[in-house]
Structure 1
């Protein structure tokens, strides 16, 4: 699948926490960082996500805010 978003980060699913409506999916990327995505439970089930799956986190935002 090709996407217009340029911020695509490859990683592996390390944890999935399913709630009634949403699923919290933790993705470990190359750096010692874990991204957390909150998606619908239905989407997690349709993607058949499981721990160890290789995924791409795609970030599409209108702005990025940095703080120091």
Structure 2
């Protein structure tokens, strides 16, 4: 897989919570961190995502927001 996005993190699908239109997918990285993504149910189906399988979290963003209390 070749992509222009530089932030590519390989991990394992830990959970998929399916809603009416979208699913929340959690990918656990090697160091125990978890990245969450909201994608369409169609994308979950097209990718054949299942809990326990390897997957990549690919982040392509122009902004990173930081906040404090």
Q: Deviations over 1:4-34 (max 9, x none)?
A: 0000000000101111100100100012211
Q: What is the CA–CA distance in structure 1 between the aligned matches of 2:63 and 2:33, rounded to whole Å? A: 21
Displacement of 1:35: 0.8
SS in 2 for 1:15: strand
Q: Deviations over 1:28-52 (max 9, x none)?
A: 0012211111000000011110001
The corresponding residue for 1:60 is: 60
SS in 2 for 1:61: coil
Alignment RMSD (CA, Å): 1.3
Q: What is the CA–CA distance in structure 1 between the aligned matches of 2:2 and 2:17, rounded to whole Å? A: 28
TM-score under structure 2 length normalisation: 0.89
SS in 2 for 1:43: helix
The corresponding residue for 1:37 is: 37
